[in-house]
Structure 1
Amino acid sequence: MNAKPINSILFVCLGNICRSPLAEGIFRAVLAERSQGRDILLDSAATGGWEVGSAPDPRSVAVALRHSLDISGQRARKITPPDFSRFDLIFGMDRSNVADLKALAPAAMRDRIHLFLEFAQGKIRDVPDPYYDGPEAFAEVYRMIREASEALAARLAARASVPDSGQASSTI
């Protein structure tokens, strides 16, 4: 069985205003820096609907701008049933997000859902929600997501460079 190419990735957090917009923006930048952008669809969403239509939290926008990323044009949205078939990988920022996503997903699509840091770096660790904290928490979340994004990009590049042998791949 051939490994299916990764053509789309969805980043998900609780409200889609702090962590997942940062993850979408950071990963897009990492792919561009590595010239790996090859038409990978990137998006972000929320498990909850409280912030639908809102711009990212100003503290997320600010920390992104400090690293020359502009995520201000993103708007929060809630995950929808079609997202589970539309995206090859769906990353929850924390274990609660992953549990919520798996509860919402059709059984056949649950294998697409992963804890972001675990999938990218092998660390069973949450990206903590910085919403109730100050700018230093947003800076730490940025750093965690950037490191995980670098690891994920390397993992996807290694997967893409494996010759198609007809064998199942355990790379991803």
Structure 2
Amino acid sequence: MTHRVALVCLGNICRSPMADVVLEHRLAEAGIDDVVVSSSGTGDWHVGQAMDERAAATLSAAGYDPTRHRARTFTADWFDEQDLILTMDASNHADVLALATRDEHRDKVRMYRSFDPEADRPDAEVPDPWFGGPEGFDDVLAMVERTTAGIVRHLAHDRD
């Protein structure tokens, strides 16, 4: 059975697409081929656009391929299409939950960093690097890579 994971941030051009690319890469490395990963944003400003150039450059420098990404918007129909929905910050989390119409929808939604062993609390956020310099994207990538390891372990365990 295919498992579907969605990653959600604000505009779907920085954090969630970075997490998407890294998660797909790490799942392939782990030999897990029955998980479909997607990403979206709670806002629609960037629909159809490629990933932010700084995010793409950061991923490329680390050996990942960011070229396939095109921004999409999270809508209520995603709840029926996804098994796990991971939000990048409290605002994204609240926006996604506001679209949930059933308890089983809300039960699918978690904070992304709930899988991060270094998160200092259950609602720890992935900071938005949009307004900062390149170091913000490096910091997000480090956080994403660390958190992805926990997500891959969780998904591997769900398969057993």
**TM-score above 0.5, yes or no:** yes
Cα shift at 1:105: 1.6
The alignment covers a number of residue pairs equal to 155
**Residues 64 and 70 in structure 1, CA contact (< 8 A), matched pair in contact too:** yes
2:83 corresponds to: 88
Matches within 5 A, 1:151-166: 151-161=150-160
Shift of 1:6: 6.7
Q: How does 1:118-157 map to 2 (within 5 A)?
A: 118=114, 120-121=115-116, 123=119, 124=122, 125-157=124-156
Aligned to 1:66: 61
Flag as ranges the 4+ runs of structure 1 deviating above 6 A. none
Map 1:37-48 onto structure 2 (within 5 A). 38-48=33-43
Residue-by-residue CA offset, 1:103-131 (whole Å, 9 max, x unaligned): 0122231110110001x136321000000
Segments of structure 1 that go 5 or more residues without pairing to the other structure are 162-172
Q: Which residue of 2 aligns with 1:102?
A: 97
> Does 2:8 correspond to 1:17?
no
How many angstroms does 1:18 deviate by?
0.2
| Equivalent residue number for residue 170 of structure 1 | none
SS in 1 for 2:40: strand
Residue 56 of structure 2 aligns with an amino acid whose one-letter code is V
**Structure-2 separation of matches of 1:121 and 1:18:** 19
Q: Deviations over 1:74-128 (max 9, x none)?
A: 111111221111000001001111011000122231110110001x136321000
What fraction of aligned residue pairs are identical, expressed as a percent? 37
Displacement of 1:20: 0.5
- The answer for the alignment partner of 1:166 in structure 2 is none
Deviation at 1:155, TM superposition (A): 1.9
2:126 maps to a residue whose letter is V
- Could you tell me how far apart the structure 2 residues matched to 1:34 and 1:40 are? 11
Counterpart Cα distance in 1 of 2:130 and 2:56: 13
- What is the letter of the counterpart of residue 34 of structure 1? A
- CA radius of gyration, larger in: 1
Which residue of 30, 45, 52 maps to 2:47? 52
Report deviation, 1:151: 1.1
Let me know the Cα RMSD of the aligned residues.
Answer: 1.4
Following superposition, the deviation at residue 33 of structure 1 comes to 1.0
- Offset of residue 159 of structure 1: 3.0
